[in-house]
Chains A and B, each alone.
Chain A
């Protein structure tokens, strides 16, 4: 009998013999093996048919079966599937175990739907709470992502506490536009701005012609508390992220926070304490009389001898960066639920000192997630999060005034005595600032007060045997008030009017952000008689962004006061940003018996950032996955999955706010107000960037998924690249925002996960991933241009047709040549977790091979004769002069000494834990404790690199555009060592 016929007979029997049917029901309860609670939403399908149901909120199910014996398949995302052979109508209770292998996870493929990973046509990376925070407590969310996703490069901009990270997926996706991914937490679009604190007023860093912000602010995704997160999923390119349309070109990070489960309230308390310490200090130059005389003149020799003979040579680097910062991290969460309501509540407090005195990071986060079953078919979820964070970041990075601690340190020699006497700091006789005074008196604080809330309503409008219809409505709000305070008291050497200072600076900024997003979807499921499943979704989305920032910079502070009204002079800058986007989305998924899974969809978006605000831009997608192992001609004991997949998608990046207008800003001269052009020529023809990505790959699961291999090749083209093109300055403008050309990224991602050994006492799970990316500017309508650093003399990025988008060029005796490339040759990560009885050891190595930085720190120390390797002879090919003189001799001749290999191998995370046994727990506190876990963990404990500074992972210009990896006297990065205790009640 053909399947179709048997199905018809079955339907026939249902219609005409209802009584018989009832008597042939299988009923039962599905239970969660981890907590023995009922498991709602589990799929129960009669194998080989489309007959099936899902378990209700109490885990109960009923299936009608006409013909015995049958095999029932029980499955649920995140759980191991189970098959049970049933001989006759009966009660069948099943317990599903949480899955340990990646292939049975679900991934989100639509704005309102998800799909089994084994059916996904994209390589979608996802990690669970365990992998995110289980090894060691991270400082910030993005800091927890290091090395954990293939194809995603996470790097810190500096070691300053409180974050400041850049996340890049599958290479450079934009040169001037947004290059950071879109973050979505429980459906709420999360603002990830970096807002400058106005330090530039003092540092003058941008005065050298570099328009980039070198204030090194944090980025606001740091606010999200990693402890609350259940799962993170990364859509790396347009082929997966097309559904997010015009905001998805740099990838999408989808975050799901923890939710309560029905049952007893569970309480978890985690306490971590530890310290942070610089990973690598450079040390002092090996001074002697002759060297001091050569570099600092005859007059300095006596000071040097005096200090040396009295043991007063001071290592100011160690003085500044040698602190051990104390870390204290507490979090408590409770979750549970009753008949209709479930909840998760968490509160956490993080208090972390930096390796420089008076720097640190403090964050308190409170979360309440509520789920409410309104009826059997309607569910409402509301997630709310309040965050208060404060970071003190010190005064670092580039300057043009010799005032930042970093730059000033380069000219601070060890025989200087800069320590305060009775609270009075002596002026540094050889520099513009006394580093100790700057450290002790300058305030650079960022405070954020943020509220994020989102709600979603899921309603089953219709549920039948063959089809169902769901409505999903979501709304989200992300609002914060961000306050910066940069205070430079009048008493500072460089603020003192006697030294030409302006009498103190108080720069205070307030930025208000109010972003909202709304969406509504209908999802329709229909399964034909031949087991072809159609899932149709249709929805509309709306996002509003509103930002208003005011920065007041006051100079001439009166008697130690920092209030703006108590200063002699004030300057106010207001910057507003408003963007409204509107979009729709249609997607059709076809699934033929889990054998062929095809998807087509299109997103349409319009935005007020476009010249024509009501013009719709369309972003299509299509994908196909074939589970070869399900096709029937394949029977292998060893290989249990083989999936071939191909996906194509497009995504966009709208021009930034104000790209199409030429505007004036205000000026004042001698009491006469005026207006002046801002230097950017508006472009009425500016269009969005468009990314087109094709992804091919295969997944193999072997030995019952104990070994999994994912291989992906992608080719990602970005058309109509938006850049702030330099235009002829004689036009009176310096730049114009234009669509100039195309860029292509090609890459390979390979992930291997395996459980080589597994017994009751010992198990070993390992993940190895490898990825590489190569970019090329395939078309450029403007002449090649330099961007993103300090000019060809010192090495600069250069956008040039036919060349890598991240090439670093510079002068040389043969003219301007390529000295390097910021793109790594490849990256690898090795994640391992081992369990022996009650001990758990997990660690993550991250290896970046190749990729160059522009390192100007050593140049600055060379110029001041203070480089630690000034007299070491290993750079000069002639072997004649020390590294310092050699590098200096190349200044203006070749940029080669400033372009350095930034490879590294580091132990990103390691954690060793002991879980108390049940026998022990029984005897503690009357047996009320469910679990106790204790252990040590660390971050960046091993760092191997041959790079002449603190850390090859650095960025003077923050996360924007391509100019990461430029170093100018940053805040040194640090390692962390923690003791953790976790108690479950």
Chain B
């Protein structure tokens, strides 16, 4: 009976202990929450958010370049594990672009991810401890908005006339899709706003950036990057005067290094990313990028841009009825930087904007680019759209321009068709998950 009493007591106590129990919240153990970040950040947290934005800009970038590079017939993207690079993107047979597959949704979502991260910065900076000065606030805003505008522009490049959402600050209440022209206008306005903010941003950013911004890491120099982007957008808008005025405030320099610009950075550090556009020589069908043969055959003799950006394979490679002998070799190593915008493009924009109004200036600019490629000057007075298209094709190879250029010049029909039933797409469908 003694034992029984003991048991009874233990059981009774147990029951009592259970019934008085309440649970304590566990919280999220795996990361800071967005509410904490917005409501109570330190200046150090803002630095981390900026680091995050610079990182986010690189997410799915490889897919973006493949999308525009393959459709723009700059190269083939072979894959032994995913057929859609050589079927859907090239419009093989009856294949079309799918609105719910990674090549549509991946880059699109990633760019908006950056936009969101930048929006969080904008929401968080008024609430930090210690607080930021008005100048510092302005500088951060200018940074964040410039990045947002750039990211939106990349998505608009994919969607073209399908348009994009510009107002996305509230996930529960997203703004409408705007048409192409309206979207471009909104991006242009955002860049202008940012430029104004940067002008009022004092002499230094209250955060550090990567080496990709080494020449553009103060509000003043960062504004030159902003204006470079504005020049590109103005050209998309067909506004030559706007291009020239923006170039005037940008880092455009006819005598300068063609590669001066803003870059995505890569490294082999743990947790960092490798350059998704680096491909080893003689790679296999598993993931090789093969130069579309016309890039080689259409080139002027001795155009140094061809050997600089391609590599003659030991043997040609065939997949899915596509064959090529050259690898894309735009980057030397898997940690090489990828340009967002660089002086060579600005010089070409300058040439294009002056083509009609100031042919002489256009010629000068074109010759700068040609001479750098080991080619002689163009015949005087010969700079026309064909010339612009050619130089842009070779100067900006595999940097995401060819398809966009051919589209805005209304020359998509000139892109080579490799297989009888292939198609050249004009634009991507709006991702299914946008519920449009």
Contact = CB atoms under 8 A, between A and B. Distances in A.
A641 interface: no
A729 B115 CA distance: 11
Nearest to A889: B93
A863 interface: yes
B43 interface: no
Given A297-B318, A500-B334, A733 B7 contact: no
B232 interface: no
B11 A471 contact: yes
Interface stretch (A553-561, A744-752, A947-955): A553-561
B57 to A, nearest CB: 9
A643 interface: no
Interface hub of B18, B266, B434 (most chain A Cβ within 10 A): B18
B297 interface: no
B135 interface: no
Contact of A674 (B4, B49, B269): B49
Contacts of A791: 98, 100-102
A429 interface: yes
A510 interface: no
A431 interface: yes
B33 interface: yes
B55 A663 contact: no
Contacts of B386: none
A107 to B, nearest CB: 26
B171 interface: yes
A674 B113 contact: no
Given A498-B280, A664-B32, A668-B51, 11 more contacts: A375-B3, A459-B4, A461-B8, A502-B274, A520-B11, A574-B30, A669-B58, A671-B210, A790-B101, A791-B101, A891-B87
A374 B168 contact: no
Nearest to B119: A732
A926 interface: no
Interface hub of A457, A461, A667, A859 (most chain B Cβ within 10 A): A667
A210 B93 CA distance: 26
A98 to B, nearest CB: 32
B147 to A, nearest CB: 13
A447 B390 CA distance: 59
Contacts of B414: none
B48 interface: yes
B279 interface: yes
20 contacts: A299-B315, A407-B80, A430-B285, A431-B286, A500-B278, A569-B270, A572-B270, A582-B21, A663-B31, A664-B33, A668-B51, A670-B272, A671-B210, A674-B53, A728-B433, A729-B112, A730-B164, A732-B115, A796-B100, A863-B83
A210 B102 CA distance: 8
Contacts of A473: 10-11, 14
Interface stretch (B103-111, B244-252, B368-376): B103-111
A540 B19 contact: yes
A893 B286 contact: no
Contact of A729 (B47, B93, B98, B105): B105
| Interface size grouping (class) on chain A | 35 or more
B431 A729 contact: yes
B26 A457 contact: no
Contact of B284 (A430, A664, A729, A785): A430
B93 A431 contact: no
Contacts of B27: 661
A209 B101 contact: yes
Contacts of B82: 208, 400
Contact of A863 (B3, B80, B88): B80
A584 to B, nearest CB: 8
B79 to A, nearest CB: 7
B241 interface: no
Interface string B78-92: 011111100110001
Contacts of A471: 7-8, 11
A432 B316 contact: no
B287 A297 contact: no
B208 interface: yes
Contact of B432 (A555, A575, A786): A786
Contact of A673 (B51, B92, B119): B51
A401 B284 contact: no
Nearest to B35: A662
Nearest to A892: B95
B30 A893 contact: no
A310 interface: no
A375 B35 CA distance: 59
Nearest to A412: B80
Contacts of A297: 316, 318, 323
B271 A402 contact: no
Interface of A: 208-210, 296-297, 299, 374-375, 377-378, 398-403, 407-408, 410-411, 428-433, 457, 459, 461, 471, 473, 494, 498-500, 502, 518, 520, 522, 540, 542, 553-556, 568-572, 574-582, 584, 606-608, 613-614, 657-658, 661-679, 681-682, 726-734, 783, 785-786, 790-793, 796, 811, 813, 859-860, 863-864, 888-889, 891-893, 968
Nearest to B435: A783
Contacts of B108: 729-730
B210 A670 contact: yes
B56 interface: yes
B310 interface: no
Nearest to B21: A582
Nearest to A576: B29
Interface hub of B79, B92, B94, B433 (most chain A Cβ within 10 A): B433
B283 A578 contact: no
Contacts of B3: 374-375, 378
A411 B286 contact: yes
B78 to A, nearest CB: 9
Interface hub of B94, B164, B431 (most chain A Cβ within 10 A): B94
B165 interface: yes
A732 B433 contact: no
B150 to A, nearest CB: 15
Nearest to B166: A730
A410 B30 contact: no
B52 interface: yes
Interface hub of A403, A568, A670 (most chain B Cβ within 10 A): A670
B28 interface: yes
A399 to B, nearest CB: 6
A68 B4 CA distance: 37
B225 to A, nearest CB: 17
B109 A208 contact: no
